[in-house]
Structure 1
Amino acid sequence: MRLCHFMTLDFKTHNMNEIKIFCPATIANLSCGFDVLGLCLDNVGDEMVIRKSDKKGIRITKLVGADLPLETEKNVAGVAALAMLEALNSDAGFDIEIYKNIKAGSGIGSSAASSAGAVFGINELLGRPFEIKDLVPFAMQGEKLACGNAHADNVAPALLGGFTLVRSYSPLDIIKIESPSELYATVVHPQIELKTSDARSVLKQTVSLKSAIMQWGNVGGLIAGLYTKDYDLIGRSLHDEIVEPIRSVLIPGFDLIKRTALGNGALGSGISGSGPSIFALSKGEATAKQIAKAMSAVYDEMKLPYEIHVSKVNPDGVRIL
């Protein structure tokens, strides 16, 4: 019976000529999980309309909300989509409209949302030749264009939803982890742009064994905390020994924002992706909103413009609107 249901759905999407989707923002690294951990946000994201075209290849026909290239080879959505069509050896053609709500350089997966959305939408219109997880390598090509590094810690949660762990890049091995039901994220984005490539350039290529051991313990603790829904363990594990001490100096008021979040009940707080956004995870929506209020007060006092979001963890990733 279930097989029949999926076949009907595939036939339906295969015969659609157009699809409108929501492409979610994401928080990557999650303190201890540099390049391997990420989560999907529920109410922050871009929208995209993808249409079948008689003309072979990919075209970005409209881009609203950001000053980004329309040329296919210079746009992350275009590059990801081309990689997918190449793998299929397909002569299909698609026109893509992108409505950006996630600012580039915000640290909440702007390029990942576009890359993930493009491959998800085209996969649907083609009748799902790929499983969702198999779309990740194509979306990673968009990330490679954006920052010179084909990392999966944003595109994996954007496509799969929940939390994702990249156990290995070679071969690619991604594990999806369901979020504990009361876990909320608060994200504050100070209105400065911090390019991922710049934030990567300050990192050291080697770390001490002592720091590495501490980091491994925290990654293991965070994964265990998510599976056992142990909020205190999640909080104790949200500690970054390696990247945050170096990158945090690039973010105005970082230490004060983090102290404020923890002082208002956050389980943990850290840099979202490569920054400048700062995230806090908390148990319950009321606490998450209280943290948002307290974080806002810090940047109001500093007279620094910002955007703030409170979101549950999105269990599904990119979705059809």
Structure 2
Amino acid sequence: MSNDIKDLKQPAKAGQKQLDSIHVFAPATVANVVCGFDVLGFAVNEPGDEVIMRVTDKPGITISKITGDDGRLPLNPAKNTVSVSVEHYLRSIDRLDIGLDIELHKKMPIGSGLGSSSASTVAGLFAIKTLLGDDTDPSTLLPFAMKGEEMACGHGHADNVAPALLGGFVLIRSYEPLDVVRLPHPAGLWCAIVFPDVDVPTREARQIIRKNIQMKDAVTQWGNIAGLVSGLFMQDIDLIGRSMKDVLVEPVRSMLIPDFYLMREMAMEMGAVSFGISGSGPSVFAFTRDEETAKRITQKLQQHLTNIKIGSNGYVSTINDAGPRVLG
């Protein structure tokens, strides 16, 4: 897939009814996937965000309501990732004449490392695309989604927005030009996710990453990324597990997550295939071979966090191959 944007001047085909309103869900995502910093990510079934979008008589975009954000997100459409990315899309198809009202319902924690801003942005873009009857490949929306990420965290990366938009497990092969590859994965792979209620802002988490690395560490990381991708193609869960090791980013970011290595030890002892940080953290995740193991790991880690006076959210999911979907 590339970032070539097709001619969408008239997205709705003749005889195709343009909708007046739409309700869309977009999923959370796990980015980096331990060794794949900024180049790997996958979507999960929960949590996620929802957008309700309505056509209005007055041109322009308004945001009438945001819920679930504790008042942290701006209603100003010039400062919200959803409206900004939608405006970029409308500008590209010469449809700034349209009027839109947006409701954003946050169903996932902000700053969780689960692609909160990406889920919101993708929900908005998928909503306007569907609202206008645009049936082009969803990948055409990626450049607009990345604009939202650039506003949210200062860096327009795609390892959250691509899986949120396309579903499944994705590889960002290149950013210039943008080239996204959807990868296969074992059907029996489950994911246990725990979000500790601690603050790890994405911008700050990026700033502490080493700028210079040793060649031996780079070689180790390349081998692990290649092993993980090979394991996905070969449906080899053992290879996936032993490839998910990070010698570049995790050693630094793990310091921001309470008891990270103890939680990893607990998860692995309970049968996890692998364990790592989701995105920039503080969420952590483990791959397992079955749902029951994923549930037990989630419960155990949450109980441990409770014991050290830290609240948490837990989620259990397979990899979500569907991406965003219309709720109504």
TM score, norm. by length of structure 2: 0.92
1:50 aligns to what? 53
For structure 2, the 5+ residue unaligned runs are: 1-11
Contact 1:179 1:315 survives alignment (8 Å): no
1:277 aligns to what? 283
Instruction: Tell me the distance in 2 between the aligned counterparts of 1:205 and 1:29.
Output: 17
Residue 77 of structure 2 corresponds to residue 72 of structure 1: yes
Instruction: Tell me the distance in 1 between the aligned counterparts of 2:190 and 2:16.
Output: 33
2:141 pairs, out of 104, 123, 135, with 135
CA drift of 1:57 comes to 2.3
Instruction: Tell me the distance in 2 between the aligned counterparts of 1:248 and 1:207.
Output: 17
2:36 pairs, out of 20, 25, 33, with 33
* Structure 1 counterpart SS, 2:151: helix
1:236 pairs, out of 232, 239, 242, with 242
Instruction: Tell me the distance in 2 between the aligned counterparts of 1:123 and 1:51.
Output: 13
Letter in 1 for 2:229: I
Letter in 1 for 2:261: D
Letter in 1 for 2:29: T
Residue 108 of structure 2 corresponds to residue 105 of structure 1: no
Instruction: Tell me the distance in 2 between the aligned counterparts of 1:13 and 1:202.
Output: 51
RMSD: 1.5
Letter in 2 for 1:85: L
CA drift of 1:130 comes to 3.8
Contact 2:299 2:314 survives alignment (8 Å): no
Question: Within 5 A, what are the aligned runs for 1:1-321?
Answer: 14-66=17-69, 67=71, 68-90=73-95, 91-128=97-134, 130-321=136-327
CA drift of 1:50 comes to 0.9
TM score, norm. by length of structure 1: 0.94
Structure 1 residues 191 and 213 mapped into 2: Cα distance closer, same or farther (>3 Å)?
Answer: same
Partner deviation per Cα, 1:231-278 (whole Å, 9 max, x = no partner): 000101111110000110011111111111111111111110000101
Instruction: Tell me the distance in 2 between the aligned counterparts of 1:98 and 1:116.
Output: 12
Structure 1 residues 212 and 78 mapped into 2: Cα distance closer, same or farther (>3 Å)?
Answer: same
Letter in 2 for 1:298: H
Deviation larger for 257-266 or 129-138: 129-138
* Structure 1 counterpart SS, 2:78: helix
1:4 aligns to what? none
Contact 2:123 2:324 survives alignment (8 Å): yes
Instruction: Tell me the distance in 2 between the aligned counterparts of 1:28 and 1:13.
Output: 37
Percent sequence identity over aligned pairs: 45
CA drift of 1:12 comes to 8.4
Contact 1:187 1:280 survives alignment (8 Å): yes
* Structure 2 counterpart SS, 1:303: coil
CA drift of 1:179 comes to 2.9
* Structure 2 counterpart SS, 1:197: helix
* Structure 1 counterpart SS, 2:108: coil
Partner deviation per Cα, 1:180-219 (whole Å, 9 max, x = no partner): 1111111111111211001011111221111111111111
Contact 1:104 1:193 survives alignment (8 Å): no
Letter in 2 for 1:59: T
Instruction: Tell me the distance in 1 between the aligned counterparts of 2:16 and 2:44.
Output: 25
Deviation larger for 58-67 or 143-152: 58-67
Contact 1:14 1:124 survives alignment (8 Å): no
* Structure 2 counterpart SS, 1:72: coil
CA drift of 1:163 comes to 0.4
CA drift of 1:27 comes to 0.5
Contact 1:13 1:125 survives alignment (8 Å): no
CA drift of 1:10 comes to 6.7
Instruction: Tell me the distance in 2 between the aligned counterparts of 1:64 and 1:264.
Output: 37
For structure 1, the 5+ residue unaligned runs are: 1-8
